């Protein structure tokens, strides 16, 4: 592949994670996403026919309203036929293996599979068994690449750059695929990434990904440009990870007081759905000068359009 | 707005309820619906492109097969891309607020949201937070405007008028959004509306909406032209609202004997799903000379096409 | 109807089962399906417009990922608008009868209903109440005609004929609509059909359908050309049908040793989802020389395209 092709295309069959992607690939996807943001903002624009006649299956082993809807909208905007399959607990009880489910869908000859699964690595395993392109829409605590891309696009839109920014990711790092994908992406593009969390929510060895660890919000937030708050999954509350919601909010919830330690123009991101009053102060979440939470959702549709297009383009080239 | 525009368009951004609509707006929607009935009855007619390139999201916080399917069909007949989101109890447990769900979907830039919610007022609250047009597909015991419109259209088709008709609404008035929307619509168009129910199922102050109250079917049905039977939600049975199904049917279920008190050509409506043998005699429900129950469903698709078109037309005009 | 028409069309309004179909009708559907296999295999082919402007509703009273998805894909490939309705236990609790559900959907004027129901005969009952064409996607232990057609097409592709083949259907014959539809189809086209199962899983009087019964895999599989393994529904395990999974696999699970009693080129089919290690050895299921399990899925989309087209063509002719 020539350098020119590397810069002007996505060179993989699948999008399984951010880890291992070259900066050129990430930049290509972000540039393409940005074009779609402009496209979507012009209300006179209708649907495109880039995915016309293409079949894209949303295969979700975990419930998700926002990511599933975002992919469905993105696909429809590109003219694709979108199918939703949600494999709940009842179907898994039927005893079919993940691989058999994958091979069954593969035999129906779809063009793209968008897959969410509760186990790390499940989407990669599945991608090895099918002919079509696969996009990881979140696999356990492992990766959620389109979320990291939409976070990066949101930052780019507001800060005009990523390289050199100081970025803090705060909260349940341990169980977060959003954290993992963001760390890979932001490091690859030259940001300085920190994680802030109680020791119980910091996974062992995380520093090997190139992040600095802080156990205290005030020192962690000092001078940062971007704060990515993570959702605290309330089911963690019953375990030994977190003492109580009130205590969690007091020490790790983002409020005006803690925000004052960051740069005066620091921007707040959150992947949603938010627990207001748990990981983020409600009034702060709604402050459109500081919070880009709903911009992220808007970027999400554009990013998924770019990713779907990248996978189809690669497939068409491979078939040439 | 000129009088001409009032007569020839729907002058609101949303359709949240019948209460407060001018007769001209209701008549405009009914006339437009009637055109779609003719359109649908001609099997040679295909899809329209009135909503081509438009995204319409069915956002249902309560289960509904019939209303959701009716809107989905209506949208597809107009060429829209329809997305279904059904927010079950499990998703609500994730802790996201209604407003955040609304703002998240809003950030995905749909054109119309069709919303059903179990709480009165929830759809209006949501409509205040989004940019797109919102249609209320039923909010708790409050309003269900498209049901009232389809009931009115069914009556118009059979009786050629609404003004001056005597119309009885029978059954669980207390918990019925169908009753409330129908009372507003039928009163606005000049019908004489009665409600018939046991005292436990009559909400306080209902007479202020301009209805006469009857606790007895025989006197309530006397000389009426239209009988709208309501579904008795079986979960009410376990409370203190109704003594037993058998007793309820004996006093408030519609059968031939009670029907004889109405006008000889009185027409029976029911919003469905029916409990045969509870609120209506099964044989009577199937008598196509007396019952228009399945005609109502057919009118429903046409009415929803008219409402979707009205909301889009308003939006296009606002963007001019 | 002329002989020529019989050979070149499907002469029924519905497809409710294989029982009673003439060989010409079955062959017509198989020939049409085969054309769609070629069509789908050519990646340059897009969507067809045979069902453009047509509304097809997938009405599933039982969960099914594979059959529902297969019909949805088939319909979309033909240009139809597909709607999914899944009627779970909660909706049935609402108390609406099957007939009322059918008549409600009928009033929405769809073109085709694809119906799965847990009771034998329910789909036929429903078909008698609606105006549109109905395809049975499985009714209790009764029939699953598109599965039998796709099995036949898979056999034809590999063996170039059905007449004269020795075919064994093995496993839970008692509860299997797949077995019943296959017996009818394969007998009609001149195969010699055997069933193999423990006595507890053989329904009384099955020999009247024209099959030989074997209680032992080794004698049953002797000299057969095709082996159709059935899914053992794990809930049967808790009853008195089967002593244990280990024992079931030992006596009735297909492995290399038992396979050796069949013809050297015997082909293995399974309707899926498979229980690996219960009714079939896992390694054997993946042996593409012996097993056509994922080919069956591919044939399934083509067969459903042919069936949808046949029903629409019949309807258009009837409307002439």
* pLDDT score recorded for residue B295: 97
The candidate with the shortest Cα–Cα distance to A221, out of A276, A189, A258, A257, is: A258
Contact at CB, C85 and B73, closer than 8 angstroms = no
Q: Is omega for the bond preceding A273 within 30 degrees of 0, making it cis?
A: yes
Q: Helix, strand or coil for residue B18?
A: coil
| C291, C265 contact by CB (below 8 A) | no
Contact at CB, C69 and A57, closer than 8 angstroms = yes
Q: Which chains touch B (3 or more CB pairs under 8 A)?
A: A, C
Per-residue pLDDT of chain C (320 residues; tens, 9 = 90+): 677 777 889 999 999 999 999 999 999 999 999 999 999 999 888 889 999 999 999 999 998 889 999 999 999 999 999 999 988 755 555 668 899 999 999 999 999 999 999 999 999 999 999 999 999 999 999 999 999 999 999 999 999 999 999 999 999 999 999 999 999 999 999 999 999 999 999 999 999 999 999 999 999 999 999 999 999 987 666 667 777 888 999 999 999 999 999 999 999 999 999 999 999 999 999 999 999 999 999 999 999 999 999 999 999 888 76
Residue to mutate among A59, A79, A84, A95, with most C CBs inside 10 A, is: A95
CA C73/CA A105 separation, integer angstroms:
11
**B55 contact residues in A (CB cutoff 8 A):** 73, 76
Q: For residue B280, what are the β-bridge partners?
A: B254, B276
* pLDDT score recorded for residue C93: 56
A118 touches chain B (CB under 8 A): no
B136 touches chain C (CB under 8 A): no
**C312 contact residues in B (CB cutoff 8 A):** none
* pLDDT score recorded for residue C8: 87
Residue C153: phi and psi, rounded to 5, are -65, -40
- Beta strands (DSSP E) in chain B are 55-60, 81-86, 112-117, 133-139, 166-170, 192-196, 212-214, 226-229, 267-269
**A91 contact residues in C (CB cutoff 8 A):** 63, 65
Residue to mutate among B53, B80, B112, with most A CBs inside 10 A, is: B53
A300 touches chain B (CB under 8 A): yes
Of C55, C83, C103, the CB nearest to B294: C103
B90 touches chain A (CB under 8 A): yes
Contact at CB, B276 and C319, closer than 8 angstroms = no
The answer on pLDDT for B238 being more than 70 is no
A209 touches chain B (CB under 8 A): no
The answer on pLDDT for B193 being more than 80 is yes
CA B8/CA A100 separation, integer angstroms:
57
Residue to mutate among A63, A65, A72, A282, with most B CBs inside 10 A, is: A65
Instruction: Tell me what percent of chain B is helix, strand and coil, each rounded to the nearest 5.
Output: 45, 15, 40
* pLDDT score recorded for residue C238: 63
Residue to mutate among B100, B106, B115, B316, with most A CBs inside 10 A, is: B100
The candidate with the shortest Cα–Cα distance to C191, out of C220, C155, C219, C157, is: C155
Contact at CB, B95 and A234, closer than 8 angstroms = yes
Q: Residue C205: how many CA atoms within 13 Å on its side-chain side?
A: 0
- Beta strands (DSSP E) in chain C are 55-60, 81-86, 112-117, 133-139, 166-170, 192-196, 212-214, 226-229, 267-269
Q: Which chains touch A (3 or more CB pairs under 8 A)?
A: B, C
The answer on pLDDT for B234 being more than 80 is no
Please give the helix or strand (H or E) that residue C149 lies within, else none. Answer: helix C145-159
B113 touches chain A (CB under 8 A): no
Residue to mutate among B44, B72, B75, B78, with most C CBs inside 10 A, is: B72
Q: For C64, which residue in chain A has the nearest alpha carbon?
A: A91
The candidate with the shortest Cα–Cα distance to A301, out of B57, C138, B253, B271, is: B57
Residue A166, C-beta contacts closer than 8 angstroms, at least 6 positions apart: A191, A192, A194, A223, A224, A225, A226, A263
Structure tokens at C152: 């036949």
Q: For residue C227, what are the β-bridge partners?
A: C168, C268
Structure tokens at A132: 């079509």
pLDDT digits (tens, 9 = 90+) for B140-180: 999 999 999 999 999 999 999 999 999 999 999 999 999 99
- Range in B162-171, B243-252, B263-272 with the lowest mean pLDDT: B243-252
Give the number of other CB atoms < 10 A from CB of residue C135.
24
Q: For B57, which residue in chain A has the nearest alpha carbon?
A: A69
The DSSP secondary structure of chain A, one letter per residue, reads --HHHHHHS---S-B--STT--HHHHHHHHHHHHHHHHHHH-TT-----TTTT-EEEEEESS--SHHHHHHHHHHHHTT-EEEEEE--HHHHHT---HHHHHHHHHHT--SEEEEEESSTTHHHHHHTT-SSEEEEEEETTTB-HHHHHHHHHHHHHHHS--TT-EEEEES--TT-HHHHHHHHHHHHTT-EEEEE--GGGS-TTGGGGS-EEES-HHHHHTT-SEEEEPP--GGGGGTTS-S-HHHHHHHHSB-HHHHTTS-TT-EEE--S---BTTTB-HHHHT-TTTB-HHHHHHHHHHHHHHHHHHHHHHHHHHH-
CA B23/CA B163 separation, integer angstroms:
11
CA A90/CA A68 separation, integer angstroms:
20
C172 touches chain A (CB under 8 A): no
The DSSP secondary structure of C177-204, one letter per residue, reads HHHHHHHHHHHHTT-EEEEE--GGGS-T
* pLDDT score recorded for residue A234: 73
Q: Helix, strand or coil for residue B70?
A: helix
Structure tokens at C265: 């080129």
In residues, how long is chain A?
320
Contact at CB, B294 and C104, closer than 8 angstroms = yes
Give the number of other CB atoms < 10 A from CB of residue B80.
26
B46 touches chain C (CB under 8 A): yes
Residue C166: phi and psi, rounded to 5, are -95, 120
How many CB pairs lie under 8 A apart between chains A and B? 59
Exposure pattern of C96-107 as b/e (b: 16+ CB <10 Å)? bebbbbbbbbbb
Contact at CB, A69 and B109, closer than 8 angstroms = no
Alpha carbon of A76: minimum distance to chain C alpha carbons (Å): 13
Q: For B80, which residue in chain C has the nearest alpha carbon?
A: C81
A42 touches chain C (CB under 8 A): no
Give the number of other CB atoms < 10 A from CB of residue A96.
20
Of B40, B46, B275, the CB nearest to C95: B275
* pLDDT score recorded for residue C25: 97
CA angle B287/B289/B294 to nearest 5° reads 65
Contact at CB, A66 and B106, closer than 8 angstroms = no
Contact at CB, B69 and C103, closer than 8 angstroms = no
Exposure pattern of A211-246 as b/e (b: 16+ CB <10 Å)? beebeebeebbeebbbbbbbbbbeebeeeebbeebe
Q: Give the position of tokens 């057919």.
A: B298
A92 touches chain C (CB under 8 A): no
CA B242/CA A105 separation, integer angstroms:
50
**C81 contact residues in B (CB cutoff 8 A):** 47, 76
* pLDDT score recorded for residue C239: 67
The answer on pLDDT for B38 being more than 60 is yes
A59 touches chain C (CB under 8 A): no
Of B90, B101, B103, the CB nearest to A63: B90
Per-residue pLDDT of chain A (320 residues; tens, 9 = 90+): 677 777 889 999 999 999 999 999 999 999 999 999 999 999 888 889 999 999 999 999 998 889 999 999 999 999 999 999 988 755 555 667 899 999 999 999 999 999 999 999 999 999 999 999 999 999 999 999 999 999 999 999 999 999 999 999 999 999 999 999 999 999 999 999 999 999 999 999 999 999 999 999 999 999 999 999 999 987 666 667 777 888 999 999 999 999 999 999 999 999 999 999 999 999 999 999 999 999 999 999 999 999 999 999 999 888 76
Burial of B173 (0-12, 13-18, 19+ CB in 10 A): buried
Alpha carbon of B27: minimum distance to chain C alpha carbons (Å): 23
Of B90, B94, B106, the CB nearest to A273: B94
Structure tokens at B276: 């045969």
* pLDDT score recorded for residue C1: 65
Read off the pTM.
Answer: 0.95
C50 touches chain B (CB under 8 A): no
Contact at CB, A104 and C40, closer than 8 angstroms = no
Q: What percent of chain B has pLDDT over 70?
A: 96
Alpha carbon of A316: minimum distance to chain C alpha carbons (Å): 10
**B234 contact residues in C (CB cutoff 8 A):** 94-95
CA-to-CA dists, residue A172 to A175, A230, A261, B95, B231, angstroms: 6, 6, 20, 16, 48
Of C65, C72, C295, the CB nearest to A87: C65
């Amino acid at each position: 592949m020539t350098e020119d092709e590397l810069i002007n295309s996505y060179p993989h069959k699948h999008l399984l994670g951010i880890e291992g992607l070259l900066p050129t690939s990430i930049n290509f996807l972000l540039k393409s996403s940005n074009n779609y943001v402009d496209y979507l903002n012009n209300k006179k624009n209708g649907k495109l026919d880039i995915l016309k006649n293409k079949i894209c299956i949303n295969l979700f082993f975990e419930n998700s309203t926002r990511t599933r809807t975002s992919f469905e909208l993105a696909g429809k905007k590109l003219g694709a036929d979108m199918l939703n399959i949600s494999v709940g607990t009842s179907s898994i009880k039927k005893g079919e293996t993940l691989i058999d489910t994958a091979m069954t869908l593969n035999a129906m000859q779809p063009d793209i599979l968008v897959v969410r699964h509760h186990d790390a690595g499940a989407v990669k395993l599945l991608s090895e068994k099918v002919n079509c392109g696969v996009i990881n829409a979140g696999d356990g605590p492992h990766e959620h690449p389109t979320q990291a891309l939409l976070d990066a696009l949101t930052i780019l839109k507001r800060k005009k750059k990523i390289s050199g920014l100081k970025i803090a990711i705060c909260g349940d790092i341990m169980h977060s695929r959003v954290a993992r994908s963001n760390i890979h992406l932001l490091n690859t593009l030259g940001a300085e990434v920190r994680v802030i969390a109680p020791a119980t929510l910091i996974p062992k060895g995380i520093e090997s990904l190139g992040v600095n660890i802080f156990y205290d919000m005030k020192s962690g937030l000092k001078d940062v440009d971007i704060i990515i708050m993570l959702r605290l999954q309330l089911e963690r509350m019953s375990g030994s990870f977190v003492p109580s919601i009130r205590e969690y909010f007091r020490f790790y919830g983002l409020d005006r007081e803690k925000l004052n330690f960051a740069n005066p123009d620091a921007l707040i991101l959150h992947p949603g759905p938010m627990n207001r009053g748990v990981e983020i102060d409600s009034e702060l979440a709604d402050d459109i000068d500081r919070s880009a939470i709903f911009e992220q959702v808007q970027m999400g549709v554009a990013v998924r359009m770019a990713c779907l297009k990248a996978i189809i383009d690669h497939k068409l080239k491979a078939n040439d």
